[in-house]
Amino acid sequence: MYVQGCRSRCRGALVYGLMCLWLASAFAGETSTSPPRTTSAVWSVHATPARLVNGAPVFFQVTAPAALQSLTSTWLGHALTFDHAQGKNWFALAGISLETQPGSVPLVLEGITESGARVTFRRNFVIARAKYPTVQLTVSKQFTEPNPEQQEKIKQDQDIKHKTFSQTSPGLEWSGGFLAPVNAPVSDVFGTRRVFNGQTKSVHQGLDYRVPPATPVAAVNRGIVLLAQPLYFEGDCVVLDHGQGLLTLYLHLSKIHVKAGDQVERGQVIGLSGATGRATGPHLHVAVRWQGVYLDPAALLRLPLPESTVVRSPSAH
The contact set with Zn ion (CB under 5 A) reads: 206, 208, 285
Please report which residue ranges of the chain form alpha helices under DSSP H: 2-10, 19-27, 148-165, 297-302
What are the backbone dihedrals phi and psi of residue 238, each rounded to the nearest 5 degrees, phi first?
Answer: -125, 135
Nearer to Zn ion, 34 or 134 (CB): 134
CA distance 129 to 101: 7
Q: Please state, in angstroms and as integers, the Cα–Cα distance from residue 271 to each residue in 164, 218, 300, following that order.
A: 19, 7, 21
Nearer to Zn ion, 4 or 280 (CB): 280
CB of 202 to Zn ion, least distance (A): 10
CB of 283 to Zn ion, least distance (A): 7
Nearer to Zn ion, 165 or 233 (CB): 233
Nearer to Zn ion, 172 or 279 (CB): 279
> What residue is closest to Zn ion based on CB?
285
CB of 183 to Zn ion, least distance (A): 18
Buried/exposed 85-107: b ≥16 CB within 10 Å, e otherwise: beebbbbbbbbbbbebeeeebeb
CA angle, residues 130, 136, 142, in degrees to nearest 5? 120
Nearer to Zn ion, 157 or 208 (CB): 208
Q: Is 156 helix (H, G, I), strand (E, B) or coil?
A: helix
CB of 209 to Zn ion, least distance (A): 9
CA distance 236 to 256: 7
- Closest to 101 in 3D by CA, of 80, 118, 123, 77: 77
CB of 252 to Zn ion, least distance (A): 8
246: left (phi over 0), alpha (psi -120 to 50) or beta: beta
CA angle, residues 307, 311, 314, in degrees to nearest 5? 140
- Closest to 170 in 3D by CA, of 242, 85, 70: 242
CB of 139 to Zn ion, least distance (A): 12
Nearer to Zn ion, 64 or 293 (CB): 293
Nearer to Zn ion, 122 or 194 (CB): 194
Beta pairing partners, 73: 80, 109
